[in-house]
Structure 1
Amino acid sequence: MGKKMSAMKLVHRIIFTVCPLLLPAFATCVACGDDLPPGQRDLDEATKIHFEGKSDYVDRVIVLCESALKKGLDGPGTIFTKELASSTLFRRASVSAQRILQPGIRQSARLRYRELAVKDLESAIKFKPEFADGHLLLCELSSMPGGDRKRGFKAASAAVESFNKANDKLRAASAYLWRARFGDDLVQQLADFAKASELDPDNMGILRQQADFLHGKQQFGEAVKTLKKLVKASPDDAKLRLALAESLSQTGEEGVIEAFDQIEKVIELAPDMTAVYRMRAQLYIAQEKPEEAIEDLTKAIQIDRGDIGARLFRAEIYLFEDELEKARQDVNRALSLNPGIVYGIQLRSRISAAEKKYSQAIDDIRLLIGNDPDDAGHRLQLAAYLNADQRPRAAIKEITRVLEKDASNWRALRSRADAFLSVGKHVEALADYERALKMSPENSGILNNFAWVLATSTDDKVRNGKRAIELATKACEVTEYKEAHILSTLASGYAEAGDFESAIKWSTKAVDLGEGEMKEQLRGELKSYQEKKPWREKQVVEEKETKDRPNLIET
């Protein structure tokens, strides 16, 4: 067998081959008449049915093999029966595995065939625990979306043991790779990759898998070392150099400089590779160079007008730069190429929200919720748009639905607390902030809003100046005393506690940092403290009336 044969390719082999050494012994048993072992007749019948190969023969062969083993056979007969049963089951599992790969097959059918194949393989392995080919195919099936990683790891370990016993180095290397992929112990996984390379030193594919693994585990320095070995062996491989650039970009400033150098080499080798321009655009964004990023993404689109990733990336930059019309044009073009792309619909909703077209933003998110009702992120985004559209009570309902399914979602708790503030429910808001803070104690948004309510609520039972100061101080520490609205919150806490000197100090700093409309409110707060008056605030947003909208989801 060639060293590059994957487990799934085993389905193309002729599975059942009778061992020549067993045939004479088997024939002798058949000729013995009354001296036949008790299970021999069942084995004869199973063998006959197997070679006839009629439809639905597998279950009958297995029943007869199990019966033969239960009744009793001699040594060669027992070995033969287990080989017959395991190879018969493997053949059917292989057919099921082939069907999984058929183009156009539905996901439900794919899952059903995988389930059938796994069931047959596990039965085959019971007959023959050292059945290495069966273990490898089980690894392949377990690696598919929704597969059982624990089952895959167990199968890979069994394959490692079997191939090592057979001194089959190349296939043992393949088994070690599978075990590395399924493992959860980084040290052991790296040891498995090293062993695979030791057994098959000329196989550069092993190093590539190792590099991908290391990058995925955020071991970027080690990934760079591995990729440099690969690039040295194949200096004209543009994809390898691009992978090296990606890992280098995660290793600090010097790594980013080297990443740019690698990208230049990739462009020399493959000037029409759109991925390299998207990669460099990412580096430019990290350096806060949006114009250069847009230029690279435009180049990628010129090469391939169907490059959806480049269009959506450029739209994201345009949105950030407040060039909303350009952002919408890119998103619309991307969605015309692939109408169902979730990120495109999300981005379109954000553009609509930036334009304050909240009804359109809400429609887009509801479209996504209709496709995936259990996605908490979509519902929280919907709640944010509802709140912005002056519909906080509707937002609270959506957030509550999220919390009913996951009470530990601190983002949902924080969002609902903010919405409660919009309807003047300070007690309810405090309860949610308290729970959210326990789960995310360093979150400046939770700390700030919690402290603001404690300092400024119009409800005497809610206010607590001392705790407001504690929370606001921590929020200031987290944000390095650089956020005007958080300094304002700290000032309000001191004012509530009666320390107007400290309140004026921090309020003055807040005014100095404040910009735009916020600055006017901050000045109003400062004036209040100068008059020795604590700040009081209670929002009660009047719910916006809305008409029922038609269902946007086609059924």
Structure 2
Amino acid sequence: MNKYPPFILGRLMLENIAIIIAVIFCEIYLYLVIRALFSSRSQGHQFSHLKNLDSAIASYSKLIQKNPRDTKSYLARSSAYIQQERLTEALADCDMVTLLEPDNPYAFLNRGAIYGLHNEHEKCIDETTRCLELKPDTLDALINRAHTYARLGNIDAALSDFARIIELAPRNPEHYFERGNCFLNLHKYPEAIADYTHALKQRDKTWEYYYRWDCHQKRGIAHTKLGQLKQARVDFDLALKHCLFHEAIRLDPHDLDNYILRGTLYYCAEQYQNALLDFLKIQEHAALTPDQQVLLGFCYLKLGEVQQAKTIFRQAEEVNVYSAAINQNPGDPENYLGRGVLRFYLEEYQLAIEDLTHALKLGEQFAELLAARGSAYEKLGQYELAQQDLEMAISNTPDCPTAYFYLAWMLATCPEPQYRNGPRALELAQRNLELLPEINWNSLSVLAAAFAESGDFESAIKWITQAMKLAQNEDKTDCEKQLQCYERNQAYTDLDP
């Protein structure tokens, strides 16, 4: 006797039939999947994914032989050719797709990439624009066009594309990073900082591994431009922590590019001795470029080797370190700023003022520019102009310690008594100390001068003694001159040009 009632038996039979049908469909699906996996195009995609590009190209070519009108295989093969930098063959495949399908957007996308690799930027923009006309919001096309606009200096157009890119892919840190670079080039430093910060908040392990250090470095540069030296120092320290140069140099100590990049980063992080060692390592094997030579000079300057620094600066000036860049792009204020700073340290103060003024007119917003020009005016004895620049620098960028330092020094040590103001100098010197990432001999030296001008010689002696402990080489001599004055209960007067 059957132990199940009839309705249960019926349901069991239906369930068995359903299972049998499901199994049949699964077998069919599995067969189709296996067939797809072993088709030439799928094999080609697998080979491409595994970077076995020669095998991928062979698979796509087999499909094209079977069907000369197979546009998907032409496009896939062109992408593989692009990765191999076989750009002529890649372009021929794109042209074939356009011939077969005149409105295929991906042919224009790939062709734009090819022209970009050829540095034919206008053609790249034309092709990617055509792709976007046919298929709006194609992310790769927007990315290619945005980068190309940035290379051409059309930053506004690049920013427009990046804005749309970020709308389409709001969690990709690379897009914020690249837009931050555009803002940095436009001297829009707060906007650059915001984008770099947003990039660093995203969680993408691959991007973080390769680019986090660079994002910190760029954000540090933006902070420096705003005179926010404490924030900049934090970023530069993090850039050093996360950079790959230490490991790269360990693996290949003969690759000089890594020493250049690490040396520059050491300099930004104020690790001047380490920076000097990296630049000297480069110099052992190759001639430094004029730009690297200037940075080497600044390493010596920061380490108190003033005469050595000046010798290097003169050599850089003799080869017109900034002139070629100025001739090539006279509208870029950065080069005038760089040459102005170089001339300042060579004591060519009038020429420095002319360069710094020109940089200012071109839109340079470096927080220390007015402070540097004010100091140059002071060196020329033009104290009224010096004070105007320094007061304006403090007003414009109240977190920039450099302006406080120079104005405090002038009010404490000026040879013309009407410009001296001990209490104000002391206030400025203390504010300078608050804003610095760490105490240096210069900051204590100006504090001592301000105390002396205020009549507190005991404090002046205390702080100039501390400054001498931090000073190196020729800088100690300057401290000793101050100490001799304070021990005689005399304020220090800066009579040196």
| TM-score bin, normalised by smaller chain | 0.5 to 0.7
* 179, 185, 209: which one aligns with 2:167: 179
- Separation of aligned partners in 2, 1:428 and 1:286: 40
Assess if the C-alpha contact under 8 Å between 1:214 and 1:222 holds in 2.
no
Letter in 2 for 1:398: D
TM-score (norm 1): 0.50
Aligned to 1:544: none
Alignment root-mean-square deviation, CA: 4.7
Which one scores higher on RCO, CA 8 angstroms, separation ≥ 6?
A: 2
* Gap change, CA 1:449 and 1:301, over 3 Å in 2: same
* 285, 292, 312: which one aligns with 1:347: 292
Aligned to 2:275: 320
Q: How does 1:227-306 map to 2 (within 5 A)?
A: 227=205, 240=206, 243=207, 245=209, 286=240, 296-297=248-249, 299-300=251-252
Q: Secondary structure at the match of 1:145?
A: helix
Structure 1 position 360 matched with structure 2 position 315:
yes
1:350: Cα distance to partner?
Answer: 2.7
Q: How does 1:68-147 map to 2 (within 5 A)?
A: 91=103, 100-103=112-115, 104=118, 106-111=120-125, 113=126, 117=130, 121=133, 133-136=135-138, 139=142, 143-146=146-149
Letter in 2 for 1:350: L
Letter in 1 for 2:103: R
- Separation of aligned partners in 1, 2:435 and 2:490: 28
- Separation of aligned partners in 2, 1:491 and 1:457: 14
Aligned to 2:387: 430
Aligned to 2:54: none
Gaps of 5+ in 1: 5-11, 14-89, 122-131, 157-176, 182-188, 191-209, 228-239, 253-281, 336-343, 541-555
* Gap change, CA 1:314 and 1:142, over 3 Å in 2: closer
Structure 1 position 399 matched with structure 2 position 356:
yes
1:414: Cα distance to partner?
Answer: 1.7
Assess if the C-alpha contact under 8 Å between 2:371 and 2:393 holds in 1.
yes
1:96: Cα distance to partner?
Answer: 6.4
Assess if the C-alpha contact under 8 Å between 2:124 and 2:148 holds in 1.
no
Gaps of 5+ in 2: 1-40, 46-70, 73-101, 179-195, 217-235, 267-272, 301-307
- Separation of aligned partners in 1, 2:120 and 2:328: 17
1:433: Cα distance to partner?
Answer: 1.2
Across the two proteins, how many residue pairs are aligned to each other?
Answer: 339
Q: Secondary structure at the match of 2:322?
A: helix
Decide which structure has greater helix share. Answer: 2
* Gap change, CA 1:476 and 1:312, over 3 Å in 2: closer
* Gap change, CA 1:288 and 1:445, over 3 Å in 2: farther
TM-score (norm 2): 0.55
- Separation of aligned partners in 1, 2:364 and 2:177: 33
- Separation of aligned partners in 2, 1:505 and 1:140: 59
Aligned to 1:518: 475
1:471: Cα distance to partner?
Answer: 0.3
Structure 1 position 310 matched with structure 2 position 258:
yes
Letter in 1 for 2:313: Y
- Separation of aligned partners in 1, 2:438 and 2:212: 33
* Gap change, CA 1:314 and 1:153, over 3 Å in 2: closer
User: Which deviations, in whole Å up to 9, do the C-alpha atoms of 1:429-460 show, x marking residues without a partner?
Assistant: 21111111123323332211110101111122
- Separation of aligned partners in 2, 1:416 and 1:141: 41
- Separation of aligned partners in 1, 2:148 and 2:485: 60
Letter in 1 for 2:295: R
Assess if the C-alpha contact under 8 Å between 2:334 and 2:364 holds in 1.
no
User: Which deviations, in whole Å up to 9, do the C-alpha atoms of 1:455-508 show, x marking residues without a partner?
Assistant: 111122221222111101112233488333322222222322333344344334
* Gap change, CA 1:435 and 1:92, over 3 Å in 2: farther
* Gap change, CA 1:109 and 1:222, over 3 Å in 2: closer
User: Which deviations, in whole Å up to 9, do the C-alpha atoms of 1:315-351 show, x marking residues without a partner?
Assistant: 657972347553224554xx8xxxxxxxx55224433
Aligned to 1:385: 342
Assess if the C-alpha contact under 8 Å between 1:481 and 1:487 holds in 2.
no
User: Which deviations, in whole Å up to 9, do the C-alpha atoms of 1:164-195 show, x marking residues without a partner?
Assistant: xxxxxxxxxxxxx76344xxxxxxx34xxxxx
Q: Secondary structure at the match of 1:498?
A: coil
Aligned to 2:53: none
Assess if the C-alpha contact under 8 Å between 2:349 and 2:377 holds in 1.
yes
Aligned to 2:80: none
Assess if the C-alpha contact under 8 Å between 2:390 and 2:403 holds in 1.
yes
Assess if the C-alpha contact under 8 Å between 2:371 and 2:406 holds in 1.
no
